[in-house]
Amino acid sequence: MKKAAYLFLIILFSNLLYSQEKSIDSLKTFSFKDLKDKFYTYYDNGKTIESKSIAKYYMQKAKKEKNNGEIAEGYILIHLNENFPNALKYLDSLSVLSKNKQTSISAAKIYTLKGNLYYKYDNLKASLNNYILGLKYAKIQNNQALIDATNINIAYLNCYMGKNEDAAKTFRHYLYNVKNSELDHNQMRVSLINCYIEINKLDSADVLIQEGLNSQFVHKNKYGINQYLYLSGRAKLKQKKYKDAIAELSKAYHYFSSVNDNTANYTLFYIGKSYAGLKNKEKAVQNFITLDANLQKTNFTSFPEIREAYTYLIDYYKEKNDKEKQLYYIERFLKVDKKLDEQFKYLSTELPKKYDTPNLLQEKESIINDLQNRKMILNISIGFLSIVLVLLTFLYFRSKKRERQHRKIAQDLINSIEMKSFKTQETEPIIIPSPAIEQTEIETEDKIVKTTPEDITQFILKELEIFESKELFLKKGITSASLAKSIKTNTTYLSEVINTQKGKNFATYLNDLRIDYALNRLIKDKKFRSYKLLAIAEELGYNNEQSFSLAFKKKTGITLSVYIKEIEKSNNSQS
Give the model confidence (pLDDT) of 44-81 as tens digits: 776 788 888 888 998 888 888 888 888 888 888 989 88
Could you read off the pLDDT of 396-405 as tens digits, one per residue? Answer: 767 666 666 6
What pLDDT score does 245 carry? Answer: 96
Percent of the chain whose pLDDT exceeds 70 = 79
Greater confidence (5 vs 112) lies with 112
What pLDDT score does 403 carry? Answer: 65
Q: CA-to-CA distance for 23 and 34, rounded, in angstroms? A: 12
Q: CA-to-CA distance for 127 and 119, rounded, in angstroms? A: 5
Torsion of CA 394, 396, 399, 401, to 10 degrees: -70
Provide the residue type at 58 as one letter.
Y
Is residue 403 in a domain? no
Q: CA-to-CA distance for 429 and 574, rounded, in angstroms? A: 24
Q: Among 173, 199, 225, identify where a domain stops.
A: 199
Q: Tell me which DSSP letter residue 27 carries.
A: G
**Cα 79-260-156 angle, rounded to 5 deg:** 65
Lowest mean pLDDT among 101-110, 140-149, 345-354, 551-560: 345-354
> CB neighbours (10 Å) of residue 537?
23
Nearest to 267 by CA among 248, 285, 240: 248
What's the average model confidence in pLDDT over 301-317? 86
Residue 53 φ then ψ, to 5°: -60, -45
What's the average model confidence in pLDDT over 193-219? 92
> CB neighbours (10 Å) of residue 447?
9
Q: Is the pLDDT of residue 570 over 50?
A: yes
Q: CA-to-CA distance for 569 and 562, rounded, in angstroms? A: 11
For helices 2-11 and 222-238, the axis angle rounded to 10 degrees is: 130
Q: Is the pLDDT of residue 505 over 90?
A: yes
Number of structural domains the chain divides into: 2
CATH code of residue 139: 1.25.40.10
Alpha helical stretches, state H, 263-305 = 263-277, 281-298
Provide the residue type at 330 as one letter.
I
Is residue 282 in a domain? no
Q: Is the pLDDT of residue 10 over 80?
A: no
Q: Is the pLDDT of residue 431 over 70?
A: no
Q: Is the pLDDT of residue 426 over 70?
A: no
Q: Among 199, 221, 245, identify where a domain stops.
A: 199
Is residue 243 in a domain? no
What pLDDT score does 20 carry? Answer: 35
Give buried/exposed letters for 44-59 (b at 16+ CB in 10 A, else e): bbbeeebbbebbebbb
Could you read off the pLDDT of 354-374 as tens digits, one per residue? Answer: 323 444 555 567 677 777 777
Could you read off the pLDDT of 267-305 as tens digits, one per residue? Answer: 999 999 999 999 999 999 999 999 999 888 877 666 778
What pLDDT score does 119 carry? Answer: 81
Q: Is the pLDDT of residue 307 over 90?
A: no
CATH code of residue 520: 1.10.10.60
- For the chain, the maximum distance between any two Cα atoms, rounded to a whole number of angstroms, is 114
What pLDDT score does 360 carry? Answer: 52
44-to-8, 129, 246, 573 alpha-carbon distances in Å: 10, 27, 26, 83
Q: Is the pLDDT of residue 9 over 70?
A: no
What pLDDT score does 120 carry? Answer: 81
Is residue 142 in a domain? yes
Q: Is the pLDDT of residue 483 over 80?
A: yes
Alpha helical stretches, state H, 121-163 = 124-140, 144-160
User: What is the Cα 455 distance to its own chain's centre?
Assistant: 65
Please, are residues 170 and 161 in contact by the beta-carbon 8 Å criterion?
no
Is residue 522 in a domain? yes
Is residue 297 in a domain? no
Global pTM value:
0.51
Give me the chain's average pLDDT, please: 81
Q: Is the pLDDT of residue 423 over 90?
A: no
Q: Is the pLDDT of residue 83 over 60?
A: yes
* 351 confidence band (pLDDT: 50, 70, 90): very low
121-to-4, 11, 76, 80 alpha-carbon distances in Å: 14, 18, 16, 12
Q: Is the pLDDT of residue 228 over 90?
A: yes
Percent of the chain whose pLDDT exceeds 90 = 34
H/E segment holding residue 80: none
Q: CA-to-CA distance for 197 and 281, rounded, in angstroms? A: 24
Q: Tell me the residue range of the domain where 150 lies.
A: 1-199
Is residue 299 in a domain? no
Q: Among 141, 168, 199, identify where a domain stops.
A: 199
Q: CA-to-CA distance for 531 and 536, rounded, in angstroms? A: 6
Residue 226 φ then ψ, to 5°: -70, -30
CA end-to-end span of the chain: 74
Residue 298: CB partners within 8 Å, gap ≥ 6?
A: 262, 265
Q: Is the pLDDT of residue 352 over 60?
A: no
SS3 assignment for 459-502: HHHHHHHHHHHCCHHHCCCCCHHHHHHHCCCCHHHHHHHHHHHH
Residue 172: CB partners within 8 Å, gap ≥ 6?
A: 192
Torsion of CA 99, 104, 108, 110, to 10 degrees: -70
Q: Tell me which DSSP letter residue 28 carries.
A: G
Q: CA-to-CA distance for 121 and 84, rounded, in angstroms? A: 7
What pLDDT score does 301 carry? Answer: 64
Is residue 515 in a domain? yes
Q: CA-to-CA distance for 479 and 485, rounded, in angstroms? A: 10
